[in-house]
Structure 1
């Protein structure tokens, strides 16, 4: 919206763009998206797939547009185009100088390879690529899942990683490395930017072609919402499983006869999503990736389960299509061990990265994440106690993997 306002010469649209970067704007935008996707999922998974396919094509075209602009732009003209574009936002003739002056000696600069910084940067890649396995939650609802899941989970990660590398390369071709670091480090409130521009807006400053501008802007919005349907899918399927196992009321597992969708679970997860959206929007203590610290623990627990499963449930493992071994050791156990090591490195990076929002400098967020993790054990213990008083043994539900 800010880009449209700059190129159309309409200050009010620039203000609208800044509004949606504010806490209230963030909440309202998120609220609309949650309600919209809840409605889509209520009408069935097939509806979501059709909508997703269309939006994916548009989003991919936006990436192509970014590459085209970045490869055809003159790197020598970037600063001039940057100042011309953001001058309409900040009111400064030389916004680039304003940014650098605000940082002074703290302005970032290129240096040699640093192992700590390299490891810390892995956390951001994980925050995007770590959820390629989310489609497993709907694996039983997809035709030919035995092949589609392997291609989809591994292929999506490789596809996304390739585009991330390509975009980084083409953007850094035209945007000076040190300067893009300065833009990220500067306080947008002190420079008049309002909010920190992301790489799509920096690239938009290099073209006045309306088709490319709209593709880049709309496509960026389509990519940013991608986490939302993933979480709706995972939370609702978790709720279904918990209801089947007796951990939640049976009503939560109700599936609509017309749309074949878990309406109660969708509405419940959406309501909880709105609550946490409000907390995230209005409480500055919650950083973008602060919750990932707790999620990494779940990955580590899954890795631990992968290690012990071939030994704990031998019959199940021997009857599976992945009963592979290397030197007599189950491949599943090896992968589980590697997963724990990798997740441990990422967890270490979170705790030692001052910009993660959950480092040792922010112990409150660490305690919150630990509390959330432990709350699952408390919930299970309390529920099992209540069910036992009702004559129901919840332990039997976990004695074996249920049939599909």
Structure 2
């Protein structure tokens, strides 16, 4: 068969299975809920949005909700371990157009996530880190850097700088990329563990004294700790005597924004060692889930013990709901609080510097996935062949890397000067709902639509005579129903109205269908029926 009319672009992807268990577990954990930055921002924001929430309980419930999704994803990935993840499964079980919709939603969410982690690097890491350094070393230059790091110009500069570093890492090849990812992850994790130790040996009296000393220059008050609590109450915060489940419930939606994605290793299936091993796939996902959730719970409990729940709630409430009354030059992030506990310069410097390393590994999965999406679509001739080209030396799809990097830069450029990025981030969660819902339907159909493939696959497991995929598929749909309910009922999660969700989902569906059918028509005119590719699994 002529190369130009063959089913696939070529008979080998050119990618190499060189990702180890450790590489993939870190890839997934850093993508879904990178411990340091999730503690710094993503979790405690809920204290201001939903006063009285129990973050520990919400995180524990999120673990339970995530488990059926991970089992389903692990079974599907091990049954068809190819580059493309849900695109491969859905196209072979339901239909190619639905697969493109699902995979497009996942790729869009990932690109939004990449832009987010790049965009907040300045405000979340650089700003608090230099503020701590300036405070500890009594250096006004460093303190001023921390103060201006979050301004739009510097936010944009640092975001583009980090994105370019990531693009170079991805271009160096999967093996080198993982080495860079792992080094950054362990540096960041080392700083987070050091911060935990500081909290463990710290006490509230010392924290209040050090915080008052630091904040007095901005508040003109000798008791800034108490002043912040009083200002929050004056701004409308009601301090609860105990936790409220009505406030905890929407916090699950906040935490699931990060925790929802512990299945992300499926997008490494084409380059992961022993990807067809069901237990290995599930072990990676559960390791990432328990690692992230465990550290979030420990971090929250330590912070509340030392800083006080009411204070942490008050300062986050002011920052989110009454910024004109928020006195500090940097946001109330975890690394900033850690710097308030001890006056030991070396410890504070280490905590401050190591927090700078969290965002790069968080961005790896967010860019890796859409790059492989372009690759997989190109390999099946939905997109131009150029996007499936792989560098012979590094085994990296350079053209796809360039396209996705350009797209991420475009989102960063727009988001830096837009006030709607938080809404866009929440719509990224809607993308996740689309993906998991479609995969859930595929999982339910798999044992009956692809009987031969299912019977010979690692997913062929029954519980009480019912395929596990069917059980987990139904449970996953129910979880997505709950998450959709939370997004609709609680506008504080970022979605202003149900209409916006409907319009967004409709747009994703229409774009996905347009991509597939325009490619189908173009290739048909060349004498190529791209549907033939979906009759079999692509080569490795």
For the aligned pair, the TM-score class normalised by the smaller chain equals over 0.9
Q: Is the 8 A contact 1:67 1:170 kept in 2?
A: yes
Residue in 1 that maps onto 2:388? 253
Q: What SS is found at the alignment partner of 1:267?
A: helix
* 1:90 CA drift (Å): 5.0
Q: Judge which range, 32-41 or 296-305, deviates more.
A: 296-305
**Kindly tell me: are residues 91 and 47 of structure 1, through their superposed partners in 2, closer, same or farther at Cα, counting changes over 3 Å?**
farther
Q: What SS is found at the alignment partner of 1:256?
A: coil
**C-alpha separation in 2, matches of 1:181 and 1:199:** 13
Residue in 1 that maps onto 2:469? 332
Q: Aligned match of 2:177 in 48, 54, 72?
A: 48
Q: Aligned match of 2:263 in 119, 130, 133?
A: 133
**Kindly tell me: are residues 329 and 263 of structure 1, through their superposed partners in 2, closer, same or farther at Cα, counting changes over 3 Å?**
same
CA offsets per residue over residues 310-369 of structure 1, 9 Å max, x none?
1111111111012011233210111111111112212221222232221428x5576346
Q: What SS is found at the alignment partner of 2:492?
A: coil
**Kindly tell me: are residues 24 and 299 of structure 1, through their superposed partners in 2, closer, same or farther at Cα, counting changes over 3 Å?**
farther
Q: Aligned match of 2:254 in 117, 124, 132?
A: 124
Q: Aligned match of 2:521 in 346, 367, 385?
A: 385
CA offsets per residue over residues 196-219 of structure 1, 9 Å max, x none?
211221121111222322332233
Residue in 2 that maps onto 1:297? 434
* 1:271 CA drift (Å): 0.6
CA offsets per residue over residues 244-294 of structure 1, 9 Å max, x none?
111110000010011111111111111101111122222111104442222
**C-alpha separation in 1, matches of 2:505 and 2:330:** 27
Q: Is the 8 A contact 1:286 1:357 kept in 2?
A: no
**C-alpha separation in 1, matches of 2:324 and 2:452:** 61
**Kindly tell me: are residues 386 and 309 of structure 1, through their superposed partners in 2, closer, same or farther at Cα, counting changes over 3 Å?**
same
* 1:48 CA drift (Å): 1.2
Q: Residue 273 in 1 paired to residue 408 in 2? A: yes
CA offsets per residue over residues 369-393 of structure 1, 9 Å max, x none?
6423542222222222322233322
**C-alpha separation in 2, matches of 1:92 and 1:270:** 47
Residue in 2 that maps onto 1:310? 447
Residue in 1 that maps onto 2:66? none
Q: Aligned match of 2:289 in 157, 161, 173?
A: 157
**Kindly tell me: are residues 80 and 324 of structure 1, through their superposed partners in 2, closer, same or farther at Cα, counting changes over 3 Å?**
same
Q: What SS is found at the alignment partner of 2:358?
A: helix
Q: Judge which range, 50-59 or 198-207, deviates more.
A: 50-59
Q: Aligned match of 1:341 in 470, 475, 478?
A: 478
Residue in 1 that maps onto 2:299? 167
- Give the aligned length: 403
**Kindly tell me: are residues 280 and 91 of structure 1, through their superposed partners in 2, closer, same or farther at Cα, counting changes over 3 Å?**
farther
CA RMSD of aligned residues (A): 2.2
Q: Judge which range, 324-333 or 375-384, deviates more.
A: 375-384
Residue in 1 that maps onto 2:165? 36
**C-alpha separation in 1, matches of 2:212 and 2:334:** 15
Q: Aligned match of 1:11 in 140, 143, 147?
A: 140
**Kindly tell me: are residues 344 and 359 of structure 1, through their superposed partners in 2, closer, same or farther at Cα, counting changes over 3 Å?**
farther
Q: Aligned match of 1:323 in 438, 452, 460?
A: 460
Q: What SS is found at the alignment partner of 1:132?
A: coil
**C-alpha separation in 1, matches of 2:376 and 2:198:** 47
Residue in 2 that maps onto 1:203? 338
Q: What SS is found at the alignment partner of 1:53?
A: helix
Q: What SS is found at the alignment partner of 2:491?
A: coil
Q: Is the 8 A contact 1:232 1:269 kept in 2?
A: yes
**C-alpha separation in 2, matches of 1:266 and 1:351:** 35
Q: Is the 8 A contact 2:188 2:354 kept in 1?
A: yes
**C-alpha separation in 1, matches of 2:340 and 2:527:** 67
CA offsets per residue over residues 101-138 of structure 1, 9 Å max, x none?
44305124235453442221122332322222222212
Q: Residue 222 in 1 paired to residue 352 in 2? A: no
Q: TM-score of the superposition, structure 1-length normalised? A: 0.92
